[in-house]
Amino acid sequence: MNIQQKTTSIFIRRKELLPNSVKLARYAKVPELGPRPLFFSGGSALRHLSSILIKYTYNSIHIITPFDSGGSSATLRRAFKMFAIGDIRNRLMALSDQTLHGNPCIFRLFVHRFSKDETQANLIIELKQMIAGKHRLIVQIPDPMRKIIRHHLLRFQELMPPDFDLHGASIGNLILTAGFLENRRHPDQVIYIFSKLVEVRGVVRPVINENYHLAVELEDGRIIEGQHQITGKEVEALSVPVKRLFIIDREKNGKEIMVGIRNKLKKLIYSADLICYPMGSFYTSLLASLLPQGIGRAISQNTCPKVFIPSMGFDPEITGMTITDQVLALLATLQNDAPDVEISELLNFVIIDSKCGTYNIKLDTIEIAALGIKVIDMPLVSKKSKPLIDSMLLLGILLSLA
């Protein structure tokens, strides 16, 4: 029996148990022994789901895209020639245990942004107040966490170029940047330190830790560089479908490059009990996290279930695409470094809600099934979450499959 037959057989046996309330209750009772679902993502689409996830498992894995090129992230990247750290900070905070003393205060500090309307001089004064421990967001944080944060803010001030623009800067990003630079530009150490600091209930890693960017080739032959130019959020949405997504090195005049993942990341993929390709911006969040060489091969070597959750609502990146088109693009990205791998080793299930879901695209489930992929059509949208996915409904299904 191959992996597709095995996972489909398991699904048929479990279908009446989705979500499996007994399993969920067991996870909730002992989350430190919970399963290891792995999510390839970036941005904020999984923020709410992650904050609920920690009630059921402390062992989830989050592989994050480091390609954000807009807003204050662009300012940090230009100043320090580094990858984007904002989505990593976002996920760390979503997974932090807010029941522990001091953590809600740290959360408020990490999500705080400097005003876009104040003068640069006043923003520097505010930064110095934080470093001195006199800022309202700092005084509430207990030691030793306060000392560690103040130290990193001081290091950032020392390393900050004279012309660095603080307008709109995230304090959490500044703190993590200082830790990154202080630890010889290795992200694992600073992520570890702050994961312990706020008791992050899971593992968060960038898919790569180099200063690279995204680019797309459109069907009309145009090349668009920079994640923020592709998403349709900061600039006008693309009017022509994407032909392909790739990574470039701006330090080498925007040359297309091939970059591989580290063995540490492969081991995380091998260890997963379920691999999830979740909702979010299709190209710049999901496929971007799958681009580096080694991802597809590592996924194929893990026999756990693999699940795709199409986004609801409007995603400007997928104009004209059906869900089957998305599945084929997902598979093509995974097979870039594993062309000999079968579909069943990369994707087993697509989860949709045909009754209440608002997809704005064709739900071509027959075409998906023809690829040998099982469609799980179950309630994902509640009255409270409508028109988007209810995180708890989705989480119940995912953890039941894990």
| C-alpha–C-alpha distance, residues 312 and 134, integer Å | 44
Indicate whether 40 pLDDT > 90. yes
Report, as an integer, the average pLDDT of 98-120: 91
The pLDDT assigned to 73 comes to 87
The pLDDT assigned to 1 comes to 46
Query: What is the residue whose two structure tokens read 């989860």?
Result: 351
On whether the CB atoms of residues 326 and 317 are closer than 8 A, the answer is no
Q: What 3-state class would DSSP assign to 275?
A: strand
Question: pTM for the full model?
Answer: 0.94
On whether the CB atoms of residues 351 and 380 are closer than 8 A, the answer is yes
Indicate whether 102 pLDDT > 90. no
Q: What 3-state class would DSSP assign to 213?
A: strand
On whether the CB atoms of residues 289 and 41 are closer than 8 A, the answer is yes
What angle (nearest 5°) sits at the alpha carbon of residue 143, between those of residues 142 and 145?
90
Report, as an integer, the average pLDDT of 3-12: 49
The pLDDT assigned to 43 comes to 75
The pLDDT assigned to 12 comes to 46
Please give the single-letter amino acid code of residue 336: N
Q: Which two tokens stand for residue 131?
A: 């470093």
The pLDDT assigned to 235 comes to 84
50-87 residue pLDDT tens: 999 999 999 999 999 999 998 888 899 999 999 999 99
Of all residues in the chain, the percent with pLDDT exceeding 90 is: 80
The pLDDT assigned to 360 comes to 78
Q: Which two tokens stand for residue 135?
A: 């800022």
Indicate whether 338 pLDDT > 80. yes
Q: Which two tokens stand for residue 299?
A: 């996924």
Strands 203-206 and 37-41, sheet pairing: unpaired
Report, as an integer, the average pLDDT of 340-351: 96
Query: What is the residue whose two structure tokens read 């300012």?
Result: 75
Q: Please give the backbone phi and psi of residue 34, each rounded to the nearest 5 degrees, phi first.
A: -70, 175
Indicate whether 15 pLDDT > 90. no
* Conformation bin of residue 102: beta by default, left when phi > 0, alpha when psi is -120 to 50: left
Query: Which has the minimum average pLDDT: 1-10, 243-252, 331-340?
Result: 1-10
145-155 residue pLDDT tens: 899 999 999 99
Report, as an integer, the average pLDDT of 86-110: 90
From residue 85, alpha-carbon distances to 38, 173, 204, 354 in Å are 19, 6, 11, 36
DSSP 114: -
DSSP 170: B
277-316 residue pLDDT tens: 999 999 999 999 999 999 999 999 999 999 999 999 888 8
Q: What is the spatial order of strands in the sheet that 374-377 belongs to?
A: 203-206, 61-64, 37-41, 274-277, 306-308, 349-352, 374-377
Q: Please give the backbone phi and psi of residue 274, each rounded to the nearest 5 degrees, phi first.
A: -160, 140
Q: What 3-state class would DSSP assign to 326?
A: helix
The pLDDT assigned to 18 comes to 86
Indicate whether 3 pLDDT > 80. no
* Close Cβ partners of 6 (under 8 Å, ≥ 6 residues apart): 303
Q: What 3-state class would DSSP assign to 295?
A: helix
Report, as an integer, the average pLDDT of 218-244: 90
From residue 389, alpha-carbon distances to 29, 287, 378, 379 in Å are 25, 20, 11, 9
